[in-house]
Amino acid sequence: MAGSEVLDRARAIVGPSHVLSEPADTAPFLADWRGRYRGEALGVVRPADAAQVAALVRLCAETGTPLIPQGGNTGVVGGAIPDASGRSLVLCLSRLNRIRAVDPIGDSLTVEAGCTLAAVQAAAEEAGRLFPMSLGSEGSCQIGGTIATNAGGTAVLRYGPMRDLVLGLEVVLPDGTLLNGLRALRKDNTGYALKHLFIGAEGTLGIVTAATLKLFPRPRSTATAFLALPSLEAALRVFARLRGALGDRVTTAEILSDSQLAAVLAHVPGTVRPLAAAMPWYLLAEVTDPMAGLDLAAALEDLLAEGLEDGSVADATVARSHAQAEALWKLRHSVSEANRKSGIVIGHDTAVPVARIPDFVARATAAVEALRPDARVVAVGHIGDGNIHLVVILPDSARTESQPLEATAHAVSAAVHRVAIDLDGTISAEHGIGQSVRDALAAYKGPAEMALMRGIKRLFDPQGIMNPGKVVLTGEP
């Protein structure tokens, strides 16, 4: 079928005004926000509800048209960007933005895929509850995308990644069947965990149209601290002390290298060095409790005093006001902006077992510096998750070298990934696979797991129309 006929039939499903095909209209959907990935498409379709999504999927199944689901387009692995063929439809979920139900007794809410994360947080707050996922992009990323990528963020330590927050899913399968699995159940042992296959599958097995999510009590006591640390080994000791004493009250433990803090202070207006002396590492720790009136700041200060005494902490400050806490958080939230302004960014999303973080950072940094003595390596991440983003910053001159920049980036990333794998780590902790690490996956997974993944893809999507080219290719046996 001609592309124009596919578009005509899509218009009949969603209404003419919700099919975009003019280049000026479709452009924002065909590239990611960092400008790394760019594709072409027949058009962009904007269904109003799950029934329209199902009708569009049936149209695509019938016509063999690849379908690329897209939420807020805030991803960093190219998972929501079509290929260059121009044969695909981009499925924009933004209009599925209803909060369908809030159940404060069962501590759950049901929302459509196109709700922004911020809208979900707000709906939870309105019900006196917390939806705990917290991401830099929360104002624009959509809940369907956070499910499709099993998003992480700064509260994973306490609440887990998206996978742990999903009770049930409504999914349109690749044949257009609408699967209603919006079960608000805390326990359900009825066979194979289909829900978990869709979570993190980046739309390659079906399209999430709605989800029932867990809610939590709101924190009513909070304390935020910023620590300067002599080493990553010391950071692990401090983290273990905090977690051992305070348990899951420790909701955030974000580590920044001195080079990362320096980049933030140099490039982001309004940021202020929180501690006098520079040290190799810093930790932003937040502690929360649903009980009101607890003096968590005092509890933190006691624990930090022990650290100052035994040398694991070099210096520390505990925020004494909301404004002070915000200023500390601003340092963390500014890292992407700072790194972009520092040069050419080659980012990574590795995780290793927590005890191996020091080893990973030392070996990966050495590997990068051996390849590129002109690189600046900064590190920022989630120490309790073992998830350290090693960010390699090259001078702008790297663009004009004889070796194309893409090849340089590939070599750098291969070196970082090799170290992570050697230390029993992963090459994608929270960003997903998309296009960016798809071809690196086999080295991590091994042939048996890859074969099962390809088998699952073929089972769910025998025509290969659901976000093809992402996560796993089915061409191989």
Question: Would you count residue 433 as binding a second copy (CB under 8 A)?
Answer: yes
Relative to beta strand 43-45, strand 89-92 is parallel
Question: In the set 131, 282, 329, 460, which binds a second copy (CB under 8 A)?
Answer: 460
Question: In the set 69, 132, 161, 469, which binds a second copy (CB under 8 A)?
Answer: 161
Residue 199 DSSP class: T
| Interacting positions 364-383 with a second copy (CB under 8 A) | 382
Residue type, 378: V
Ordered DSSP codes for 237-254:
HHHHHHHHHHGGGEEEEE
Question: Would you count residue 245 as binding a second copy (CB under 8 A)?
Answer: yes
| Interacting positions 9-68 with a second copy (CB under 8 A) | none
Query: Which phi and psi angles does 322 have, rounded to 5°?
Result: -60, -40
Question: In the set 114, 132, 386, 469, which binds a second copy (CB under 8 A)?
Answer: 386
Cα separation of 465 and 67, whole Å? 6
Question: Would you count residue 418 as binding a second copy (CB under 8 A)?
Answer: no
Determine the Cα angle at 32 with ends 28 and 37, to 5°.
115
CB atoms within 10 A of CB 284: 22
For a second copy, give the closer residue by CB, 246 or 419. Answer: 246
| Interacting positions 250-309 with a second copy (CB under 8 A) | 289-291, 299
Relative to beta strand 344-346, strand 387-394 is antiparallel
Question: In the set 23, 24, 35, 105, which binds a second copy (CB under 8 A)?
Answer: 105
**Judged by CB under 8 A, which stretch of 113-121, 261-269, 318-326, 456-464 contacts a second copy?**
456-464
Query: Do the beta carbons of residue 320 and residue 297 sit within 8 Å?
Result: yes
Question: In the set 60, 76, 81, 173, which binds a second copy (CB under 8 A)?
Answer: 173
Question: In the set 18, 58, 98, 243, which binds a second copy (CB under 8 A)?
Answer: 243
Query: Do the beta carbons of residue 288 and residue 221 sit within 8 Å?
Result: yes
Cα separation of 146 and 135, whole Å? 10
* Mutual angle of helices 232-246 and 296-310, in 10-degree steps: 140
Query: Which phi and psi angles does 209 have, rounded to 5°?
Result: -110, -20
Question: Would you count residue 184 as binding a second copy (CB under 8 A)?
Answer: yes
Question: Would you count residue 163 as binding a second copy (CB under 8 A)?
Answer: yes
Question: In the set 35, 191, 270, 293, which binds a second copy (CB under 8 A)?
Answer: 191
Residue 426 DSSP class: B
For a second copy, give the closer residue by CB, 348 or 372. Answer: 348
For a second copy, give the closer residue by CB, 228 or 303. Answer: 303
Question: Would you count residue 135 as binding a second copy (CB under 8 A)?
Answer: no
| Interacting positions 211-230 with a second copy (CB under 8 A) | 216-217
Question: Would you count residue 188 as binding a second copy (CB under 8 A)?
Answer: yes
